[in-house]
Structures are given as C-alpha cells and as structure tokens.
Amino acid sequence: MKRLLTLSMVILLVFMTIGCGKKEQRFTAGTYEGAAPGIHGDDVVLEVTVDDTSIKEIQVIQNNETPGVSDAAFDRIPKAIIEGQTLAVDTVSGATYSSKAIIGAVTAALQAAGADIAALSAGKAESDADAVSSATKVMNADIVVVGAGGAGLAAAVSANQKGATVIVLEKMPQVGGNTIISGAAYNAVDPSRQKPAGIEDSIEKHYTQTYEGGDELGNPVLIHTMVENAYPTLQWLESLGMEFKGQIFTVLGGLWPRAHKPVKPLGTGYIETYMNYIKQHDGITLLTDTRAVDLYKEDGRVSVVKATGPDATIVAQGHKAVILATGGFGANIELRDTYNKIWPALTNIKTTNHPGATGDGLALAEKVGADLVGMEYIQLLPMGDPNTGSLSGNIELGVENRIFVNKDGKRFVDEGARRDVMTKALFDQEDAFMWVILDGHCYPTTDIKNNFNETMQELLDQGRAYKADNLEELADEIGVDADNLKASVAEFNKAVEAGGPDAFGRTLFADKIDQPPYYAGARKPTVHHTMGGIKINEKAQVIDKDGNVIPGLYAAGETTGGIHGSNRLGGNALVDINVFGKIAGENAAAESN
C-alpha cells in the first residue's frame, strides 16, 4: 500500500508539473539504434523504441562486456530510464564503464529520434525505488556470510554441503568481488597435468616459494594449510562443475609453472560454479545491495550482523557463526595511504580492484576485538593498463615467452621475478612505463585470446597493442630506439639458447622471440592486492589482540592477513580464497548453536 501511495503521489506531481507549463518530451515514433564504447572498447549496441511521448522499450543488440560484472547494469539501467523517462539515472557501482556505455547508447538512439537530450538529462526523476524504508527485517540462519566474492561464496556452499542454512550479504549490486574480474590463475601441485609437460613440482616446493617469496613473514601454519589443500580444493571445485584447461603455465610473479587456467574467461568460472550450486540447492539466501554495518555478540559469541538494504534494515542472526569475506582494501585510497610504508605515495596509482574493495570487514572485525596483521604489505603489479589500472589488455600469456623494455627499448629486470621486485624496478624507469614484447609463438594469429578473454585483434583495433613484421617496424610503432630493442631481444634469445640465467638472473625461458609477427603492449604499476588483514588460524577462526579465538567469528579471503607475508605469489590468491573459504564454511557449520 505504501509503495502504491508513493507511486500515486509521484504521478500526481508529474501531472501537476505538466499542468504548470512544462513541455512534454516528444519523439519521432519508431525504433532507433544507438552505440557507445564499453570497458573493452567494443561498442554496446542498443535498440530503443519510442512513441510520440515516451520511451517504450530498450533492447540489447550487442554486448561484449564482462559477464557477471555488467549484468546488474544491463538489468537496472534500461528499466530506470523507462520508469523515470530520463537519462539522468545512476550508474551501477562496480559496473561504471558498462553503465556509461548503456546510457551513451540510449542517448545516441534518442538523438536519432529527435529527442531533447538536454531536457532528458536534466535532473533525476524521483521514483518509488528512491524511497528507502525505515523498516527492520529480522532474518535467521545457521551462518551469516558477509561478502559474495569467491571466498564468501565458497564458504556459503561448503557450509550448506555440511547441512547449514546460510544468509549471504553483499553490498554491491552483483556478486563476484575481485574474483570475477581476476586473471583466475590457480596454483596447485598437480602431477596429472605437470608431469606430461616435464614439470617437476612438490607441495614442499610450493610452500618454500610462498614462504620465502613473502620474505618469511607469512604464518607457516597458514601457508602449509593453503598449499596442502590447494589441489583437493581444485578437485572440489571440479566436483561442483568447474572446468580447468589441461595446460599448466607460470603466471606473473608465480615463480613456477603450477598455475591452472579455468575454461571460462576471467574469474567467471568460480562465481558461476558457486551460483549454480546456490540456485540448485535450498538453504542459501543471498541479498545484494545490502551493506553490513555492525557486528554484535550474544552470550560472548559473534552471532548478529546489522546491514542496510535497499528497502529495509536487515538484522541477520547466525545461530552458529558469522563469516567475514569482504575482500581487501586496494580500492580504498585513504586506507592505502594510512598503512603504506613501502611504496611511493599511492594516491595517484590506479588499481586492478573492483570499487567495492574498500576494506569494510576490517572495521567490523576490529569492533569485536579482532587483531589485524601485516597491514603495510600492499602488492603492486607492473601490469596495469595505463589508462584504467586494470589487468585487461595485458598481452602476455605466460612468463616464459616475453620481455619488458622501457621507453629506451632496454630491458631492466628479471621478468620472472617476484611481483614487488619487478614493480620496484619499473618505478625506476622513465614515467614508470614499460612495453611488454613478444612474438608469434604467443599469437600465431590475431584471433588468439589473452588471459582476459580479449583477442589480439581487438586489442590492436583499440590501440592497446601494436604489431609489426620485424623489430625495426615495431620500434617505430611504439617510439623506442630500434637498436636498443633489437639488442634486448638478441640478449634474451642468447639466454634462451644457454638455458639461463641471464644478466638479470632470469631462469624462466621457453621460446626465443624470433617468430614474426612481433607485438607490444603498454603497462604501468597498479595496486593489486592487500596482504594484510584480519588475523586467523588454520581453521579460519578470527583471533583477537590477546591471541584468543573470538567465538563464532570466522574470516576468509583477502580480508585476512598473515598468509602471504610481504609479497603474494602470483596464482596464490585464488587458492587462498577458495581453500580458506571452504575451510571457514565447513568449520562454521560444525559449530554448536
């Protein structure tokens, strides 16, 4: 009734406004097509149908946006435009580029329909959706999970498999977090895939590289838990329907070829796998647009989460436990600056993270006495898109077959080194800018896709990559000294023949860079991962400042600290997320009420 009354008032106000002399928006009736570039540069194409006085229908004709990430934008924005009869609609948080593309495409179509775009863009029409109810809704389950990224969904699914009912609260309009936009590499010792490729590996080697790669600052117990459960958790994902490719590769900063690549692009495979389980099983309630704002204890246990939803305050009771899986703080400039002790000022450095990675779970955990560890350890990559900071557009397919050169065309670092080592070396170059150089071994044809589901041809068309038949032409294309570039490639090729190490200490090699065509892609430093966070034990229980377990509270994923030390190995994030998410869910489900 309240909604009907509110809508009636809005309609009355509209008619009053018209009666006071405001001109009706008029169109030339028909169906019109409009286009605008999306996040990857490809056009979002929409078809808009209007009659003489109103926008009637919006249909999507072409959409190459990231699956999962852009879904909420395509669902909400056309509805908002039609309901409000306005272009002054809000973008969807986490899908800003896609949102702007949708609004831009509708604008182009309406221009063709003869609309007054200035009038349509002026002021936001009030609607019932803008009225936030002050009602309070109480919900009950065995477990409340805060965050619907990879760790939160892993926890929800594993808890449900153990018989628990679960409520998942997600502040963003869509699920997925950083997982869904990640490169998705998953490190695991896997003889079935590694041995046929001649790769010798062991769990102890994975442990040693993780521990030493973080300057021996990670918790050995947590690291052992992660590496020992990496492959069993991969098998668990496969049992849920997720598919991985057969080839193993070395991801940037991974130090060893043990990375698995999902069949689905980016991290969509992980999220789709969990969401498919949730849709097919009872007992998991998932709320988006619902921000957790407080935790409460009952009888000494954390058991209640207060959250603000789109039309009510939510009080979610977890009779067994609460699990925090809210991600890191890579997109929170204030927190980055507060804790950064290692890097130059990060204020103007872009990030690979989605906009919801603001560290909300840290404040929630501290309210109930949780300890935070390693907060100064913030990981940067040398692989950010110069314009957006994202990992998209990166032309590399693996570590072994490419080199980095600066604006002079010279190599400056071991391209198989730790991520922090490579990024610190990049900061020492002019404009902290580099080119990734590789050849036809990686892209024999331009329809080959990178690790972010973009074809080389798309990147060339968008001006995000360059191609030439020889190194002299490539040097001219990207504006570097041709002699320097040729010398850098020749030096690399000699090291490949010798099997390394080269002058930079590089030991990871595969093919020479000698097979036309040659390619280049520009990259800059970008904030990628925050290694610090909530202190946990091997059971994913949260630890307080006195070293004691906080009853009823668990945490998993990037919101936690103490696993990776000062530097995270490439390919270990998805392991951390899924292993500890699964552990948190299982152990929370085993709690007594």
Catalytic residue list: 419
d(CA 212, CA 374): 16
| Token pair 């948080």: residue | 93
Angle between helices 150-161 and 573-589 (to 10 degrees): 30
Q: Which residues on neighbouring strands pair with residue 435, listed in sequence order?
A: 405, 522
Distances (CA, A) of 190 to 37, 325, 519: 41, 27, 32
Directed axis angle between helix 471-478 and helix 482-498, to 10°?
130
**Tokens in use for 59?**
């249909």
Looking at residue 206, its amino acid is H
Sheet with 55-62, side-by-side order of all strands:
30-37, 43-50, 55-62
Paired tokens of 557 = 């994923």
Residue 467 near residue 523 (C-beta atoms within 8 A): no
Q: How far is CA 545 from CA 51, 366, 368, in A?
A: 65, 9, 10
Among the listed residues 370, 389, 359, the one whose alpha carbon sits nearest the alpha carbon of residue 524: 389
Q: Which residues contact 222 (CB under 8 A, 6 or more apart)?
A: 536, 537, 538, 562, 563
Q: At what angle do helices 150-161 and 268-280 cross, to 10 degrees?
A: 30
Backbone angles phi, psi at 271, to 5 degrees: -70, -40
- Reduce the DSSP state of residue 7 to 3 states and report it: helix
Helix 220-239 and helix 573-589, axial crossing angle in degrees, nearest 10: 80
CA distance 169 to 312: 13
Written as six digits, the tokens of 418 are: 């730790």
Give the CB-side neighbour count of residue 126, counting CA atoms within 13 A: 11
Tokens 């009602």 label which residue? 135
568 phi and psi, to 5 degrees? Answer: -95, 135
Q: How many helices (H) and strands (E) does the chain have?
A: 16, 22
CB 188 within 8 Å of CB 240: no
